[in-house]
Amino acid sequence: MSPRFPRVTGKEMIRFLKSRGFEVVRIKGSHHVLKNHVGITVVIPVHGKEELGIGLINKILSQSHIPAEDFISFFRR
């Protein structure tokens, strides 16, 4: 059985992605667009204190080419 994903808000996801080399390039409404040095672009919804769904977290990690283990260990510290 795999470890459970931590439930995070959009702001917490942005903090994680920034620690992995992503930068916010623009904001349109409540959606933040982040890009890394390789050119990978990821859109994160930031809706106050609302947590992101597990499916969306998986999609963001997949798009950003970051292993789920890195995400889990970042928030389990």
Q: What are phi and psi of 33, to 5 degrees?
A: -105, 120
CATH number for domain 10-75, candidates 3.30.360.10, 3.30.920.30, 3.40.1260.10, 3.40.50.720: 3.30.920.30
Q: Could you report the per-residue pLDDT of 26-59, keeping only the tens digit for each?
A: 999 999 999 999 999 999 999 988 999 999 999 9
Asked whether 5 and 69 are in contact (CB, 8 A), the reply is: no
- Longest alpha-carbon distance in the chain: 38
End-to-end Cα spacing for the chain: 20
pLDDT for residue 50? 92
Q: How many C-beta atoms lie closer than 10 Å to residue 29's C-beta?
A: 8
Alpha-carbon span 13 to 7, nearest angstrom: 10
